[in-house]
Amino acid sequence: MIYKRSSELFKLAKLSIPGGVNSPVRAFGAVGGSPIFVKKAKGAYLYDEDDNKFIDYISSWGPMILGHAFDPVLNSISQTSKKGISFGIPTALETEFAELITSSIPNIDKIRFVNSGTEACMSAVRLARGYTNRDKIIKFSGCYHGHSDSFLIQAGSGAITFGSPNSPGVTQGTATDTLISDYNDFESVKVQFKNHPNKIAAIIIEPVAGNMGCVPPEPGFLEALRKICDENQSLLIFDEVMTGFRLSLGGAQEALGVNADIVTYGKVIGGGLPVGAFASSNEIMKKLAPEGPVYQAGTLSGNPLAMSAGFTTIKSLTEDLSIYNRLEEKTKFLHEEMEKCLKKRKISYQINRFGSMISLHFTDSKVYDFKSSTKGDNIFFKKYFHGMLSEGIYLPPSAFESYFLNDALTFEDINYTINAFDKVLKSL
**Which listed residue (267, 315, 403, 407) is catalytic?**
267
Could you confirm whether 144 is annotated as catalytic? yes
Q: Which amino acid is at 226?
A: R
- The residues, ordered by sequence, that sit 6+ positions from 209 with a Cβ below 8 Å of its Cβ are 140, 142, 143, 183, 215, 216
267 catalytic per annotation: yes
Q: What are phi and psi of 172, to 5 degrees?
A: -65, -30
Q: Are 213 and 361 in contact (CB under 8 A)?
A: yes
Nearest CA among 24, 23, 59 for reference residue 41: 59
Q: Strand pairing partners for 111?
A: 279
Nearest Cα to Cα of residue 261 among 373, 114, 109, 117: 109
Which is catalytic among the residues 177, 239, 261, 413?
239
CA 172 remoteness from chain centre: 27
The total of other beta-carbon atoms located within 10 Å of residue 17's CB is: 12
Three-class SS state of 417? helix
In angstroms, how far is the first alpha carbon of the chain from the final one? 18
Residues 31 and 397: beta-carbon distance below 8 Å: yes
Contact 253, 107 (CB under 8 A): yes
Catalytic residue of the set 3, 45, 57, 144: 144
* Amino acid identity at 289: A
* Residue 231 CB partners (closer than 8 Å, separation 6+): none
> Residues with catalytic annotation?
144, 239, 267
